[in-house]
Structure 1
Amino acid sequence: MSRSTLLHEGWTLRAEPGRQVPPEIAGTPVPAVVPGCVHTDLLAAGLIPDPYLDDNETALAWIGRTDWVYQTSFDAPDGDHDRVDLVCAGLDTVATVTVNGVEVGRTANMHRGYRFDVGASLRPTGNTLSVRFDSAYRYAEAQRDRLGDRPNAYPEPFPFIRKMACNFGWDWGPTLVTAGIWQSIGLHAWSSARLATVRPLVTVDGTDGRVELHVEVERATDTPLTVRAAVAGGAAEATIPAGQRAAVLTVSVREPALWWPRGYGDQARHDLDVTLAGPDGGTLDAWNRRIGFRSVHLDTTPDPHGAAFTLHVNDVPVFVRGVNWIPDDAFPTRITRERLAHRFDQAVGANINLLRVWGGGRYESEDFYDLADSLGVLVQQDFLFACAAYPEEEPIAAEVAAEAAEQVVRLAPHPSLVLWTGNNENIWGWHDWDWQEPLAGRTWGRGYYLDVLPRTVAELDPTRPYWPGSPWSGSEEIHPNDPAYGTTHIWDVWNTDDYTKYRAYVPRFVAEFGWQAPPAYATLRRALSDDPLAHDSPGMAHHQKAIDGDLKLQRGVDAHLPAPADFDDWHYLTQLVQARAMQVGIEHFRSHRDVCSGTIFWQLNDCWPVTSWSAVDGDGRRKPMWYAVRRAYADRLLTVQPRPDGLAVVAVNETADRWRTPVTVTRSTLDGEPRAKATLEVDVPAYASVTLVLPADLAGPDEPRGELLVADAGDGAERALWLFAEDRDVRWPAPALDAVVEPVDGGQRVRVTARSVLRDLTLFPDRLDASAEVDEALVTLLPGESATFTVRSGTPLDPAALTTRPVLRCVNDMKGRAPS
């Protein structure tokens, strides 16, 4: 049997001499954690400030332009083995590996693993392993100079190196160019043969499951081998004759329990065990994964609206309620399984059923995919190309091909993975971002997206669909971002327009759209030393990476809300606009579910404390937008929508059960006096929507600035609201309320009873205790109505502070609110 030994102990790190290296670091060995990276080791040693605080990021730019050497010592594995390999799961990025002073390998790709035969270089004890990392900047800039520059959304050389692109900075991320042994490293001692790759192609045929298992071996001796596989009561065996290196086994399983996306059924998984045996029957190697039996296909059939983009799992169409995912930390080794589990809980808590792993980050971890499998969260994985023209020349082309093959094989067992995407916005960029003239005929990535990658998926995992880009229309003859075909990104809304423009689109599938807001107040106070905080104070400005981001935030406030009088107002209002923008967009797209088959908003998470499009900020705190998304993505949605013939109530049902309920629609004054009222009977089939146009007396106000429309479902589902004027113009009364605070296990319950209308009532308990969280937000109450908020915190909070501004907020507490 083979033997594996991790080499994660005893490492040191040192900087190679360089002009920019601080004298206290130059030549000094630093304890190193493996897996890890240079930044986290220097931070742990107290040699650099936290790069996430204030503008420290800028002062640490030298790290990415320095060469670094990791070193440790180890003993050789006991016993006699035909081979001893050094297995490097992930080296970041341009590395030279030596054992006892002998070079055993070089790498230039963060996104793939490497295996080097080191047996001839080993002595029994006291071996020295060194990994030298050349500056990623110097390597990428040299490739750029050799191949010719390419257009790029950012002035950084990331397209010229196979490394996490967002290390070089993004419009939501810091520029922190890492180096290090970022995944496991160790020795694998083996004899005769080992399992090199195991590739299960899992399908469903009627009620039966089928696993077509492709096995490749690496040999040290030339003897017959036996491969055995077993799963869910089925088994198969194959012989690999001497001189051959591959076998295909097919395991059939009668009526296995299927794997379903969350909301459609259970997430049944089955252990798939594979063993490799020698001529004497002894086990040489073993492999195990949990698989799920399910089918997946993408319906792109042309129709009167253009062409569909509908995901089917087990032959059931799934309306995607998705969100984009970026790396959860700029330093990936700080992302623990526990942290990922919390982020998945936040996604599921917001009724999300798909995560799109964006192409400027990484191929996500086994922990990420195992959590997705267990929870029924679908995953769309981008190949790693984003927002730039990528060269197709060597050595990059060979790295891309090897990386793609490795990752397709690695992720094949996971039932949650339902779609591979070739790139993020690069085909769109070639069309619309003025790339063609500066490219002057040079390669830009087309060959990857339309040849190399689809061929790789087709050859190695034909059970899953591939889509060349996000966005992509399905054909080079149609503009890649045509909303009527395939997937579309909607960014004009954030960049140049108002969020109500989402209603101008009825797309087939929206793969990106979003609106910014600052992070939670406690996150800002931890990360910034600005005193006082202001939207344009130095730390706030440094942690706003989007072009004209603050101007766009202010444009959103100006279009809808009263003018902020101070930073507290600005913080609340910009977070409120973000929440409303996402609610308007999602509810509109869902109301057209007969045409639109999914939305993936930008974005769930952040990698550091920053003003961004996220629903969960860089410290893991939920913004008000998260609560708005939870409401907009609910299984059963009631929404008021403008239609050509007037206002309509739309009921959307994403459950397997018919939804029958009376809906009471009331047009009333702000003080709760009804002006018109009707009860509608809603009957929505499973996985469908129904639109009911409202009569004129409900849809037409007598006083637009003094009335609102409320639709309430009889079964207690979320109510839907419609205002006839913008909040800045509505004659909101000064807020009048009664608040009662009482202790509960782990926190406090706050019950608010409205004596006046209260618009978007929200609690911000993190202003009092950084650990505090609240279960609800953005609640509008009519006079006489009540709402209960449960606050969980590490310490009891002052009831008076908990129930007054700036902790308890509503639109009509604004000092600058519109006059009556």
Structure 2
Amino acid sequence: MAVHFDLRENWTVRAVPPAGPPEEAAEAVTAPEGVPAAVPGCVHTDLLAAGLIGDPYADDNETRLGWIGRTDWRYATVLAEDALTGLLEGAERLDLVCDGLDTVAEVRLNDRVVGRTANMHRSYRFDVTDAVRAGDNELAVTFTSAYRYAEDLRLRLGDRPGAYPEPFQFIRKMACNFGWDWGPTLVTAGIWRPIGLHAWSTARLAGVRPEITVRTGADGRTEGVARLHVELERTGAGADAPLTLTAAVAGQRREVAVAPGESAAVVEVRVPDPRLWWPRGHGDQPLYDLGLRLDGPGGELDAWRRRVGFRTVELDTRPDAAGTPFTIRVNGEPILVKGANWIPDDCFPARVTRERYAERIDQVVGANMNLLRIWGGGRYESDDLYELCGERGVLVWQDFLFACAAYPEEPPLAEEVEAEAREAVVRLAHHAALVLWNGNNENIWGHEDWGWKAELGARTWGERYYLDLLPRIVAELDPTRPYWPGSPYSGRPDRHPNDPAHGTVHIWDVWNERDYTGYLDYRPRFVAEFGFQAPPAHATLRAAVGDEPLAPDSPGVRHHQKAEDGDGKLARGLAPHFGPAAGFDDWHYLTQVNQARAISLGIEHFRAQWPLCAGTVVWQLNDCWPVTSWSAVDGAGRRKPLWYALRRVHRDRLVTVRADGGLSVVLCNDTGRTWEGRVRLARRDLAGAVLEEVEAGFQVGPRGLLRLAVPEPVARAEDPARELVTADVTADGDVDRAWWFFAEDVDLALPEPEYDAEALVRGGDLRVTVTARTLLRDLALFPDRLDGAAEVDEALVTLLPEESHTFTIEGGAALDPEAVLRPPVLRCVNEAVRTAPDPAR
């Protein structure tokens, strides 16, 4: 049996002369003994742990740490003689297995170079059998500056346009390490995934490529098929050994003999009537243990185990009268996608544990979402993410790793791209949650609209990757899943890539150029990106920024805003809805409310077009550091008001009031059951008094939608500044309400907020009940201002006079009740807008 030995312990790291650290750190980081290093990890986290640098996420430290990415680094450890002796005893071969090296590295065992790497997104295996010597052995991995490598290649191949001036398209490394409009420039190096030794004899499993499919027979019965394409590597002594492969799943077993000299085989196991895997909201997520064992003359040699789900997936892009749909079908059923874009959850990936992935995926599920798009400027994530999505029924759309730039197609990048893509497809193919491979993010659009053609001339830009290489790889290695060339993409090279009527669209004129009401102008088939900014939670910002006092334009706050003219866009986004904010606290609250309202309006508008529009993927779920961005969950994992808004608009049953050619109520039923009940429509004054009302029954079929016109007496306001409409839906004993205001808040005659509030301790939590005496709009609690660990269960609640709502602050029992019940912890739009400065004064 093979033996695996983890090389996690006893590493050091040091800068390699000529080093580039500042004078105060030079002696420590270049010392021969080095600095203790964590593996997996990276230089930044090692220097931080040693107290040699400040927190890269604090204030403007990022800028002062730029030298790290322009320095070469050497990681080293000693392999003790006794450990190696035990490994080599009885083994014919010893391999060094590197799951992830970031990025351009030379690997030495003693004085021998055993391997070189130039790709963060690949794993490597080096035969070190002959490099081992008697006694202790030194293993060293020296990383060349990613900047120097990329800039040298850029000089050699010729520059290419991109969204940022950094050379990220000239190296196969996490692009967003070089900075983005939501991320810092922190160019890393290090052993970022596990590294270890593998001692083996006779043969090993060099590759296992699963195809998991479902077949339906003529009798209507289903059969699950697990087809494993196996590649073997043999030692010289094992070249003529007879081998046996045994696969087992769901109680079914299949054995295949591998003749002497053969190095490839296929093992197929069939499972009668398997339970099908479904995305959340459509069924259960049964997963089966699939195992493969390799045996030789002496018994077991190697094994491979995964958890798989049986299901089919298709991408429906058959042209129709409205254009080209983009509908994901699972087990033949069309899925209304309610998703979010995922970026790396930390600039330093080794810090993202399975527990952290679980927290994020639980936030996806908690917001009633059913898909994550893994964005192409990041990385292929740990198997933990895909496994957790499979367990929770969250679909995964996986970009290949190209984003926002023209990418060279010449060597050495072309070979690296192919090797990387082949490994990624094989590694991820068994995950039931993975439903789509996507060629790139915005590169085809960029080539068409961002002035690249004139700048490029005849130089390559990645087109052959997206339209030739990658689809060939997917067809060869993962024929069970669809491939799409890019996002956005309209299905054909002769169409504009961002045409809303065809395929996927990214909507960025809203936020960059237009108010969020611009979403109402779109009738898209699928929205793969759209978003609106807001700052992170107050506790997150306060922990990262030392400004006193905090202000929208104070240096630290501005440094944690990476979008071009981001602060100006935030201000212009507030103006038509709330007017200018009076100070930091109002700015912080109102920009968060505005973000939530913008995305709510967009999603409600797009959901009301089902099945024409088959889904939305909001930009973005998460952040990699504390920053003002488009995220729903900030860089410390805290939920912004947007998260609560997403939970509402992604509910399986949604009621919304729309003004598409006349006021109407739209009832969206994303369940497999008929939705029946009654809807009461009322036009009210701001004091809550009913001016006109009407009530009617309704019935919406499974996965259906119903649009009800609002009668004229209710739909037409006599005084838009002092009236609103409520739509109360009662079904199955539950009551839900949608609101419609005839004017923006800045133009409403909002009353001074009056309410009664009390706070009561319940166990470790604090329950805060607010009873309105006037209309209260978008009532919210921000307990993180008092305790960064405290979270509230609801946000942005609107109440009519005499209505009450109870908030639960989880872990809030020790909070000061008086502080909880007043601003800036307890907020509503009424007091924020009424205190805003009058620009006419």
Query: In the TM superposition, what are the counterparts of 1:137-152 in structure 2 within 5 Å?
Result: 137-152=147-162
1:586 to partner: Cα distance: 0.5
* TM-score normalised by the chain length of structure 2: 0.96
Partner of 1:648: 664
Q: In structure 1, what residue type is equivalent to 2:825?
A: V
SS at match of 1:153: coil
**1:736 and 2:754 aligned:** yes
1:508/1:47 Cα in 2 relative to 1: closer, same or farther (>3 Å)? Answer: same
**1:393 and 2:424 aligned:** no
Q: In structure 1, what residue type is equivalent to 2:114?
A: V
CA distance in 2, matches of 1:199, 1:368: 19
Partner of 1:212: 227
1:240 to partner: Cα distance: 2.1
Partner of 1:668: 684
Query: In the TM superposition, what are the counterparts of 1:362-373 in structure 2 within 5 Å?
Result: 362-373=379-390
Contact 1:216-1:247 within 8 A present in 2 as well: yes
Partner of 2:312: 295
1:18 to partner: Cα distance: 3.2
SS at match of 1:328: coil
**1:710 and 2:726 aligned:** yes
Q: In structure 1, what residue type is equivalent to 2:7?
A: L
Q: CA RMSD in A?
A: 1.1
Query: In the TM superposition, what are the counterparts of 1:288-327 in structure 2 within 5 Å?
Result: 288-327=305-344
Contact 1:730-1:818 within 8 A present in 2 as well: no
Contact 2:29-2:35 within 8 A present in 1 as well: no
**1:770 and 2:785 aligned:** no
Contact 2:766-2:812 within 8 A present in 1 as well: no
Partner of 1:695: 711
Q: In structure 2, what residue type is equivalent to 1:217?
A: L
> Quick one: which of 53, 65, 69 aligns to 2:74?
69
> Quick one: which of 151, 155, 165 aligns to 2:165?
155
Q: In structure 1, what residue type is equivalent to 2:51?
A: G
1:281 to partner: Cα distance: 6.0
Contact 2:203-2:234 within 8 A present in 1 as well: yes
Partner of 2:259: 241
1:320 to partner: Cα distance: 0.3
1:463/1:271 Cα in 2 relative to 1: closer, same or farther (>3 Å)? Answer: same
Q: In structure 2, what residue type is equivalent to 1:110?
A: M
Partner of 2:50: 45
Query: In the TM superposition, what are the counterparts of 1:758-797 in structure 2 within 5 Å?
Result: 758-793=776-811, 796-797=814-815
Q: Tell me which stretches of 4 or more aligned residues in structure 1 moved more than 4 Å.
A: none
CA distance in 1, matches of 2:133, 2:760: 69
Higher mean C-alpha deviation, range 787-796 or range 420-429:
787-796
Contact 2:376-2:441 within 8 A present in 1 as well: yes
Higher mean C-alpha deviation, range 411-420 or range 75-84:
75-84
**1:816 and 2:841 aligned:** no
Partner of 2:14: 14
Contact 1:11-1:33 within 8 A present in 2 as well: yes
Partner of 1:230: 248
Contact 2:12-2:76 within 8 A present in 1 as well: yes
> Quick one: which of 436, 451, 465 aligns to 2:453?
436
Contact 1:728-1:818 within 8 A present in 2 as well: no
CA distance in 1, matches of 2:345, 2:486: 23
Higher mean C-alpha deviation, range 609-618 or range 234-243:
234-243
SS at match of 1:759: strand
SS at match of 2:519: helix
Higher mean C-alpha deviation, range 231-240 or range 496-505:
231-240
**1:414 and 2:426 aligned:** no
Higher mean C-alpha deviation, range 134-143 or range 257-266:
257-266
**1:27 and 2:5 aligned:** no
Q: In structure 1, what residue type is equivalent to 2:79?
A: F
Higher mean C-alpha deviation, range 162-171 or range 471-480:
471-480
Q: In structure 1, what residue type is equivalent to 2:538?
A: Y
CA distance in 2, matches of 1:296, 1:348: 21
Higher mean C-alpha deviation, range 682-691 or range 536-545:
682-691
CA distance in 1, matches of 2:355, 2:698: 42
CA distance in 1, matches of 2:175, 2:456: 20
Query: In the TM superposition, what are the counterparts of 1:536-555 in structure 2 within 5 Å?
Result: 536-555=553-572
CA distance in 2, matches of 1:26, 1:371: 39
Q: In structure 2, what residue type is equivalent to 1:142?
A: D
Partner of 2:144: 134
Q: Spell out, residue by residue over 1:474-528, the C-alpha distance to the aligned partner (whole angstroms, 9 max, x if none).
A: 1111111111111110000010001011011010000000000000111111011
1:563 to partner: Cα distance: 2.7
Contact 1:519-1:609 within 8 A present in 2 as well: yes
Higher mean C-alpha deviation, range 583-592 or range 678-687:
678-687
> Quick one: which of 449, 458, 480 aligns to 2:475?
458
Q: In structure 2, what residue type is equivalent to 1:298?
A: L
1:78 to partner: Cα distance: 3.9
- Across the two proteins, how many residue pairs are aligned to each other? 817
Aligned-residue sequence identity (percent) comes to 62
Q: Which structure 2 segments of 5+ residues have no match? A: 217-221
Q: In structure 1, what residue type is equivalent to 2:791?
A: E
Partner of 2:219: none
Q: In structure 1, what residue type is equivalent to 2:528?
A: A
CA distance in 2, matches of 1:795, 1:130: 52
Higher mean C-alpha deviation, range 297-306 or range 122-131:
122-131
Q: Which structure 1 segments of 5+ residues have no match? A: none
Contact 2:762-2:813 within 8 A present in 1 as well: no
**1:164 and 2:174 aligned:** yes
CA distance in 1, matches of 2:368, 2:513: 29
Contact 2:215-2:225 within 8 A present in 1 as well: yes
> Quick one: which of 56, 67, 70 aligns to 2:61?
56
1:818/1:134 Cα in 2 relative to 1: closer, same or farther (>3 Å)? Answer: closer
Partner of 2:771: 753
SS at match of 1:367: helix
* TM-score normalised by the chain length of structure 1: 0.99
